[in-house]
Amino acid sequence: MKHAGRYREIAMALARHGFGYMVEEMGLFQLLSLPRKWLARETPESKTLGERIRLVLEDLGPAFIKLGQLASTRADLLPEPIIRELIKLQDQVSSFSPEMARGILEQELDTSLESILTRFDDVPLAAASIGQVHLGKLHSGEMVAIKIQRPGVNRIIRRDLDILRELTAMAAKRWEWVKRYQLREMVEELGKSLIQELDYNHEARNTEKIALQFEQDPHIYIPKIYWDHTSSRILTMEFLDGIHVGNREVLLHHGYNLKELAQRLVNSMLHQIFIEGFFHADPHPGNLLVLKNGSLAYLDFGMTGRLNEGMKDHLASLIIALMRKNTDAMVRAIERLGLVKPDTDLNALRTDLDKIREEYSDVPFSQVSIGDALNDLFGAAQRHRIGLPSDVLLLGKALLTLEGVVELLDPDLSIIALAEPFGNKLLKERFSSRRIRDKLLGGATELVETLIELPRQARHLSSIISKGKLKLEITVPELEQLLRKLDQISNRLSFSIVLLAFSIIMVGLIIGSSLNHQATMLWNVPAIEVGFVVALLMVAFLLYSIFKSGRF
């Protein structure tokens, strides 16, 4: 009831785009007293399922749009046609007033705007669902871009996340496909990512981490963060004046070498992924600038991915195996990358991977899309219920986005060709003498530490045994069920014995009363009549329990 108005908006959006049957089956029409005429609306035949899902999300605003954008990274859970539509989701929101922006800035930084800035442009440079960016100038003369969080967006997003959790819980009780696609788990995971994105301190730290990766590279530039003027709702960074990489004609007009820019972009992304293991996960044209000196600048680090050493190695193995068309090696790489369940049919997985390999066998090496190939592999893993780390899936989305940008700059450039040296380098490092030595030393150190701890652990165990405090835990599902049944039987048996004893006492009272020819009274209470009622209730309860158990 607290969010009834918002539930109505969601129900209206679903009905408007042909999902009224879902609203009815979840019981929202009755719960919200919605007009039945909505159900008469026909499903728009001209639009695909993916298009209609995208339109619903766009109608419902910031939280749903952001969740849709994050869901577009989950090629392991959602079908490809839906993923393609979710990638198109755009933040089409109007900017909030400059007075409100100034007020938030002063409130968050606990000082007057004039004490920080000598200039503040009222018209924002950009506006999105979570915040908008204003141009400003510090007293030191430096131009800055100030990202200010939209008022109330934190509360709105948390409210919508609560509603989404409730809706997916309701849907999971009615449709099997909701469980199969793990929508509840997806909402939880994406919700955590979205809440994290609401904290601009998180984005500022990500920016500095990426900046450290390119300290010695003059061709890649990351804007500076002004921590004194940054908070959870305000992000102040260096303003960069350049041309977005999507403006191909403008770049050509200014004489930039597009082929060189494309190679620089790809190499910088592959360096982040395979060497550093921490990467910008949303490299779309709006987040990439070409500066006057020709260097490439990254913007907006709200969405990043992280790969540990093991994940980098296995990912490299997967790409090399795909390139060499080695199915067994692909299976091994996916096994190591993901969480393989005991009932996973690896032979069926191998058959699926053979089909993927055959699809790429006739495609020239330079024309293979690394993003599509990885997402095909991740989709095969999902079909066989192999759970993959979310950062690995985020990587697939980032590579697809990257390929779209590269196609604008240099359609002939092959990302997979540039990725091969990085993959080979990782594989060589894995079996290098230094890596093997480090692993052996690490294993030996751990073994020695275990041996050193062994006497202390033995003394501790001996002390527990001598005090009689040793506990043995055995977990067997069937045993637990049997014990629960035995407990029920013993309780009912005890109840029956008590009922029998009570009945014997009542019979004794009745016989005594008949011999004396007078009513039996205990503390002025007719004992036989009261006892008869109690016995009748106990018998009724016992019979009800037996019939309810279904084991009469």
Mean pLDDT to the nearest integer, 20-47: 65
Residue 303 tokens read as: 């969405």
Confidence of residue 537 (pLDDT cuts 50, 70, 90): confident
Rounded to whole angstroms, how far apart are CA atoms 289 and 297? 5
What was the pLDDT predicted at 551? 47
What was the pLDDT predicted at 237? 96
Most confident of 203-207, 371-375, 420-424, 434-438: 203-207
User: For residue 243, how many other CB atoms are within 10 A of its CB?
Assistant: 17
Percent of the chain with pLDDT over 70: 72
Tell me if 324 is assigned to some domain.
yes
Q: For residues 453 and 49, which has the higher predicted lDDT (pLDDT)?
A: 49
Over residues 286-324, the pLDDT tens digits come to: 899 999 999 999 998 988 889 888 888 887 777 777 777
Kind of pairing between the strands at 304-306 and 126-127: unpaired
Give the 3-state secondary structure of residue 288.
Answer: strand
Over residues 445-495, the pLDDT tens digits come to: 766 777 677 777 777 777 777 776 666 655 555 556 666 666 667 666 666
Rounded to whole angstroms, how far apart are CA atoms 177 and 161? 21
What was the pLDDT predicted at 147? 95
Both 222 and 258 in one domain: the answer is: no
Residue in 336, 330, 241, 255 with CA at minimum distance from that of residue 291: 241
Q: For residues 53 and 359, which has the higher predicted lDDT (pLDDT)?
A: 53
Tell me if 287 is assigned to some domain.
yes
Give the 3-state secondary structure of residue 523.
Answer: coil
Give the 3-state secondary structure of residue 309.
Answer: helix
Residue 124 tokens read as: 């924002």
Task: Give exposure, 401-432, as e/b (b: 16+ Cβ within 10 Å).
Answer: bbbebbeebbeebbbbebbbebbeebeeebee
Kind of pairing between the strands at 126-127 and 131-138: antiparallel
- Return the DSSP state at 276: I
Give the 3-state secondary structure of residue 373.
Answer: helix
Gyration radius (Cα) of the chain, Å = 33
Both 266 and 387 in one domain: the answer is: yes
Contacts of 308 by beta carbon, 8 Å cutoff, 6+ apart: 277
What was the pLDDT predicted at 138? 95
Tell me if 519 is assigned to some domain.
yes
Pair 402, 261: CB distance under 8 Å: no
Mean pLDDT to the nearest integer, 3-29: 78
Over residues 520-529, the pLDDT tens digits come to: 554 555 655 6
240 alpha-carbon distance from chain centroid: 32
Q: For residues 417 and 518, which has the higher predicted lDDT (pLDDT)?
A: 417
Residue 331 tokens read as: 């299976």
Tell me if 85 is assigned to some domain.
no
Backbone φ and ψ for 137, nearest 5 degrees, come out as -135, 125
Percent of the chain with pLDDT over 90: 24
Question: What residues are labeled active site?
Answer: 282
Pair 164, 187: CB distance under 8 Å: yes
What was the pLDDT predicted at 282? 85
Both 212 and 276 in one domain: the answer is: no
Confidence of residue 357 (pLDDT cuts 50, 70, 90): confident
Give the range of the structural domain holding residue 494, as residue numbers without chain letter.
Answer: 479-549
Both 266 and 408 in one domain: the answer is: yes
What are the respective helix, strand and coil percentages of the chain, to the nearest 5?
65, 10, 25
Rounded to whole angstroms, how far apart are CA atoms 232 and 235? 8
User: For residue 164, how many other CB atoms are within 10 A of its CB?
Assistant: 22
Rounded to whole angstroms, how far apart are CA atoms 56 and 68? 10
Both 338 and 277 in one domain: the answer is: yes
Contacts of 57 by beta carbon, 8 Å cutoff, 6+ apart: 64, 65, 67, 68, 86, 89
Mean pLDDT to the nearest integer, 76-90: 76
What was the pLDDT predicted at 307? 87
Both 235 and 142 in one domain: the answer is: yes
What was the pLDDT predicted at 177? 75
Q: For residues 433 and 465, which has the higher predicted lDDT (pLDDT)?
A: 465
Rounded to whole angstroms, how far apart are CA atoms 235 and 136? 12
**Residues written for the chain:** 552
Report the domain count for the chain.
3
Residue 94 tokens read as: 């109007």
Over residues 188-241, the pLDDT tens digits come to: 877 887 888 889 999 999 999 999 999 999 999 999 999 999 999 999 999 999
Pair 256, 294: CB distance under 8 Å: yes
Residue 126 tokens read as: 């950009």
Tell me if 289 is assigned to some domain.
yes
Pair 168, 155: CB distance under 8 Å: no
Kind of pairing between the strands at 296-298 and 220-221: parallel
Domain boundary among 182, 217, 239: 239
Both 224 and 347 in one domain: the answer is: no
Both 421 and 372 in one domain: the answer is: yes
The CA–CA distances, whole Å, from 269 to 217, 272, 298, 398 equal 13, 5, 10, 9
What was the pLDDT predicted at 312? 81
Residue in 231, 219, 323 with CA at minimum distance from that of residue 271: 219
- Return the DSSP state at 368: -
Confidence of residue 552 (pLDDT cuts 50, 70, 90): very low
What was the pLDDT predicted at 235? 95
Q: Find tokens 């209609």 and name the residue.
A: 52
Domain boundary among 431, 462, 495: 431
Both 408 and 532 in one domain: the answer is: no
Kind of pairing between the strands at 525-526 and 521-522: antiparallel
Tell me if 54 is assigned to some domain.
no
Backbone φ and ψ for 309, nearest 5 degrees, come out as -60, -45
Over residues 332-348, the pLDDT tens digits come to: 887 787 666 666 777 88
Tell me if 56 is assigned to some domain.
no
Both 255 and 232 in one domain: the answer is: no
How many helices and strands, by DSSP H and E, does the chain display?
A: 22, 13
| Residue 128 pLDDT greater than 90, yes or no | no
Both 285 and 344 in one domain: the answer is: yes
| Residue 367 pLDDT greater than 80, yes or no | no
What was the pLDDT predicted at 333? 81
| Residue 157 pLDDT greater than 70, yes or no | yes
Tell me if 372 is assigned to some domain.
yes
Both 415 and 324 in one domain: the answer is: yes
What mean pLDDT value characterizes the chain? Answer: 78
What was the pLDDT predicted at 453? 74
Mean pLDDT to the nearest integer, 94-117: 92
Domain boundary among 239, 270, 291: 239
- Return the DSSP state at 224: P
Backbone φ and ψ for 304, nearest 5 degrees, come out as -130, 160
